[in-house]
Amino acid sequence: MGSRHPGWTADPRDLLRAGPGFTLEDVDRGGTPGFRGRKSDAERFGRDRGRLLSELQERLFAEGRTGGTRSVLCVVQGLDTAGKGGVTRHVMSMVDPQGVALHSFGPPSEEELRHDFLWRIRNALPRPGLIGVFDRSHYEDVLVVRVKHLVPDDEWESRYDQINHFEKELVDSGTVLLKFALMVSHDEQGIRLMERLDRPDKRWKFNPSDLETRAQWADYQAAYQAVFERTSTDWAPWYVIPSDHKWYSRVAITEIVTQTLVDMNPGWPEPDWNPFEMRDRLAELMSSRALTESLADTTRTVAKAVAADAKVQREEIEVSLDDVDSEDAAARADERAALAEVTAQRAAYVAEAIRTKQQKQRLVTAAKARETLR
Ligand code: ATP
């Protein structure tokens, strides 16, 4: 086992998911569950996964540009100093900036308060093809709002059901929702807050109200526990991330987002035009010199696409290889089908590359003839 999750003993989604009977108190916030290795391994591993994540994100983006309706939304919650900003920046830095949309949610404005608590959330949802990231979210409306009694109890109490309903709708409309709760220990939070006071370059991150929030630690823990019990659903589970080691929260979230995209398996959209026809037309607008250079580059250009595809397909094959241990005949058949698909895809690329080169050779000859006539 484990081939699917190099670096991990198991899928971090299984390890970190808040399932039935989950108790926040039992989470070891200094733990690094499932990751084989230390900080330097995590950094190296994370960079490698970043390349795959970037490839998958580009596919999702392309899908969204050509009529696809799918998107991903990462909700990031956590107490002060848990590292929400750092994790968010880290994951976002691995993908093309045009493919991600970040929204931070602070105290609601007057206008936002005039609407239902989900109004500002609905306005910030990712468009098809995008990976949306929420730094704080609608969960503040059952966390800070509950702890600080900002609305009557029955009002926040009714919000858990509203949230579940809203998230179901969202997921049904094509958004994959990933909810991350970054959990630091009480001691680690104290150390991080003290560092903000000690370092002149970090003081801007400190707010005296952080101390009030810290004084209400137990109430916040209870509010988080209620969130996990009541809103970790099959369609939108919570992943509770031990966050005393920042490197761990980063590598865990990167892996969960990457694996989610692998499962979504976005492919390249088929154009509604024919590349051979377009190549004929483009060649009429090119010199024989440029065409000759392009011809010489053909194999290398196609090889790039094959290599990028292979990276994604390797993940998909590993998904099915994971099932081999189960000795389940259906799983083995799936694995064979996945391998056959990869072989067929490669053969198709090679066949197309051969035809492309033949076409380009003809086009170079035609261009030269055209140029001698001039
Ligand atoms: P952070 O603490 O996330 O680094 P920050 O210090 O820059 O952010 P803001 O982003 O302006 O501050 O606001 C964060 C604050 O807004 C948090 O204290 C949070 O509890 C509060 N907040 C967010 N949503 C709500 C809400 N719906 N109702 C009340 N307060 C909220």
Same domain for 220 and 345, yes or no, is no
Question: How long a stretch of residues is the chain?
Answer: 374
Q: What's the pLDDT band for 341 if we cut at 50, 70, 90? A: confident
User: Is 108's C-beta closer than 6 angstroms to any atom of ligand 1?
Assistant: yes
Rg (CA), the chain: 25
Mean pLDDT, residues 135-160: 98
How far apart (Å, rounded) are the C-alpha atoms in residues 270 and 363?
A: 24
Per DSSP, what are the bridge partners of residue 359? none
Same domain for 99 and 230, yes or no, is yes
User: Is 244's C-beta closer than 6 angstroms to any atom of ligand 1?
Assistant: no
Among the residue ranges 60-69, 211-220, 269-278, 300-309, the one predicted with the least confidence is: 300-309
How far apart (Å, rounded) are the C-alpha atoms in residues 14 and 3?
A: 15
Tell me if 281 sits within 8 A of 359, measured CB to CB.
no
Residue nearest to atom 10 of ligand 1 (CA): 106
How far apart (Å, rounded) are the C-alpha atoms in residues 225 and 228?
A: 5
Q: Return the pLDDT at 313.
A: 74
What is the whole-number distance in angstroms between the Cα of residue 266 and the centre of ligand 1?
34
> Domain for residue 112, yes or no?
yes
> Domain for residue 3, yes or no?
no
> Domain for residue 7, yes or no?
no
Share above pLDDT 70 across residues of the chain, in percent, rounded to a whole number = 95
Q: How far is CA 226 from CA 14, 159, 160, 357, in A?
A: 20, 12, 9, 62
CB atoms within 10 A of CB 5: 21
How far apart (Å, rounded) are the C-alpha atoms in residues 103 and 186?
A: 27
Residue 29 domain boundaries: 12-264
Q: Does residue 306 register a pLDDT over 60?
A: yes
Per DSSP, what are the bridge partners of residue 198? none
User: Is 248's C-beta closer than 6 angstroms to any atom of ligand 1?
Assistant: no
Q: Return the pLDDT at 54.
A: 95
Residue nearest to atom 31 of ligand 1 (CA): 107
Same domain for 186 and 59, yes or no, is yes
Spatial neighbors of 141 by CB under 8 A, at least 6 apart, are 117, 156, 159
Same domain for 52 and 109, yes or no, is yes
When comparing pLDDT for 157 and 2, which is higher?
A: 157
Residue nearest to atom 13 of ligand 1 (CA): 106
Residue nearest to atom 17 of ligand 1 (CA): 106
> Domain for residue 2, yes or no?
no
How far apart (Å, rounded) are the C-alpha atoms in residues 29 and 240?
A: 10
| Strand bridging mode 175-183 / 131-135 | unpaired
Q: What's the pLDDT band for 3 if we cut at 50, 70, 90? A: very low
Q: Does residue 265 register a pLDDT over 50?
A: yes
CATH code, 81: 3.40.50.300
Dihedrals phi, psi of 176, to nearest 5 degrees? -90, 125
Same domain for 232 and 337, yes or no, is no
Among the residue ranges 7-21, 58-72, 286-300, 307-321, the one predicted with the least confidence is: 307-321
Tell me if 243 sits within 8 A of 83, measured CB to CB.
yes
Taking the whole predicted model, whether its pTM rises above 0.95 is answered as no
Tell me if 158 sits within 8 A of 146, measured CB to CB.
no
Tell me if 86 sits within 8 A of 241, measured CB to CB.
no
DSSP type of residue 178 = E
By most ligand atoms within 8 Å of CB, the mutation choice from 114, 119, 136 for ligand 1 is 136
Residue nearest to atom 30 of ligand 1 (CA): 107
Mean pLDDT of the chain: 92
Same domain for 18 and 141, yes or no, is yes
Q: What's the pLDDT band for 318 if we cut at 50, 70, 90? A: low
Q: Return the pLDDT at 242.
A: 98
Residue nearest to atom 23 of ligand 1 (CA): 106
Mean pLDDT, residues 319-335: 64
Among 264, 294, 322, residue at a domain's last position? 264
Mean pLDDT, residues 320-348: 73
User: 179-188 burial, b for 16+ CB within 10 Å, e for fewer?
Assistant: bbbbbbeeeb
Q: What's the pLDDT band for 2 if we cut at 50, 70, 90? A: very low
Q: Return the pLDDT at 308.
A: 78
Same domain for 180 and 283, yes or no, is no
Same domain for 135 and 162, yes or no, is yes
Same domain for 249 and 361, yes or no, is no
Mean pLDDT, residues 1-24: 86
Q: Return the pLDDT at 330.
A: 73
User: Is 335's C-beta closer than 6 angstroms to any atom of ligand 1?
Assistant: no
> Domain for residue 311, yes or no?
yes
What is the whole-number distance in angstroms between the Cα of residue 106 and the centre of ligand 1?
4
pLDDT tens digits, 25-70: 999 999 999 999 899 999 888 888 999 999 999 999 999 999 999 9
When comparing pLDDT for 358 and 326, which is higher?
A: 358
User: Is 144's C-beta closer than 6 angstroms to any atom of ligand 1?
Assistant: yes
Same domain for 160 and 23, yes or no, is yes
How far apart (Å, rounded) are the C-alpha atoms in residues 149 and 333?
A: 56
What is the whole-number distance in angstroms between the Cα of residue 62 and the centre of ligand 1?
34
When comparing pLDDT for 356 and 315, which is higher?
A: 356
Q: What's the pLDDT band for 304 if we cut at 50, 70, 90? A: confident
Per DSSP, what are the bridge partners of residue 176? 72
User: Is 63's C-beta closer than 6 angstroms to any atom of ligand 1?
Assistant: no
How far apart (Å, rounded) are the C-alpha atoms in residues 192 and 181?
A: 18
User: Is 207's C-beta closer than 6 angstroms to any atom of ligand 1?
Assistant: yes
What is the whole-number distance in angstroms between the Cα of residue 149 and the centre of ligand 1?
15
Tell me if 125 sits within 8 A of 171, measured CB to CB.
no
Domain count, the chain: 2
Residue nearest to atom 16 of ligand 1 (CA): 106
Tell me if 120 sits within 8 A of 108, measured CB to CB.
yes
By most ligand atoms within 8 Å of CB, the mutation choice from 113, 120, 144, 219 for ligand 1 is 144
Residue 250, both tokens = 């980063």
How far apart (Å, rounded) are the C-alpha atoms in residues 72 and 262?
A: 12
How far apart (Å, rounded) are the C-alpha atoms in residues 241 and 18?
A: 10
Q: Which atom of ligand 1 is nearest to the CA of 209?
A: 18
Q: Which atom of ligand 1 is nearest to the CA of 80?
A: 2
pLDDT tens digits, 69-128: 999 999 999 999 999 999 999 989 999 999 999 999 999 999 999 999 999 999 999 999
Same domain for 86 and 195, yes or no, is yes
pLDDT tens digits, 164-207: 999 999 999 999 999 999 999 999 999 999 999 999 999 999 99
Q: How far is CA 75 from CA 30, 87, 125, 228, 234, in A?
A: 22, 11, 11, 13, 16
Measured on CA atoms in the order 296, 344, 336, 310, is the torsion positive or negative?
A: positive
Q: Does residue 321 register a pLDDT over 70?
A: no
Same domain for 103 and 249, yes or no, is yes
